[in-house]
Amino acid sequence: MSKLIFVNLPVADLARAKAFYEAIGAVNNPQFTDETAACMVFSETIHVMLLTHAKFQEFTPKRVADAHATSEVLIAISEDSREGVDAITEKALAAGGREAREKQDYGFMYSRSFEDPDGHIWEPMWMDLAAATEAMAAPAEPANA
């Protein structure tokens, strides 16, 4: 059995957060959704649990971070292509997200970054694994060549 990942995110407005994640391609699993939480499914192995602040606080004695003011986590998610990276980012921006930084293009790897309405940073990325492996294996050029 594959391991599953459940990313738990505190949200100020559950309905708004749920609508945002649906807009970028996640599907709600009503079996794990109520007035305090929504399970948003990206794939068979990737789930995002949107939790009201009160619900989130049940799982930790720490204060809930204000993700608009401080970075608590960067969530990277792979896409099948550069176009996939652009597509999810554009959907996020159209749904009320904000671009968090300029796109990064290394040839063999391409990524963008956006914040959801609560300030959580997502980094969709694509990598040509064969080209990345080749680039990593290439000997470094001498600085004074």
Please name which of 113, 131, 130 lies closest in space to residue 122, comparing C-alpha atoms.
Answer: 113
Predicted confidence at residue 71, as pLDDT, reads: 87
Percent of the chain surpassing pLDDT 90: 81
Residue 85: per-residue pLDDT: 97
pLDDT at 132: 67
- Considering the domain delimited by 1-60, tell me its CATH architecture: Roll (3.10)
- What SS3 state is found at 7? strand
For position 137, what pLDDT does the model report?
73
CA distance 55 to 32: 13
Q: How confident is the model at residue 1 (pLDDT cuts 50, 70, 90)?
A: confident
The DSSP symbol for 4 reads -
pLDDT of residue 143: 57
The residues, ordered by sequence, that sit 6+ positions from 14 with a Cβ below 8 Å of its Cβ are 35, 36, 37, 38, 50, 52
Looking at every residue in the chain, the average pLDDT score rounds to 92
79-119 tens-digit pLDDT: 999 999 999 999 999 999 999 999 999 999 999 999 999 99
- Residue appearing with tokens 């997502």: 122
Q: Kind of pairing, strands 74-78 and 121-127?
A: parallel
- Among 3.30.450.40, 3.10.180.10, 3.30.930.10, 3.30.56.10, name the CATH number for the domain at 70-138: 3.10.180.10
The model's pTM: 0.85
Which sign, positive or negative, has the C-alpha torsion 9, 26, 81, 84? negative
Ranges of each domain in the chain: 1-60, 70-138
For residue 22, what pLDDT band results from cuts at 50, 70 and 90? very high
Same fold for the pair 1-60 and 70-138: yes
Beta-strand pair 109-115/98-105: antiparallel
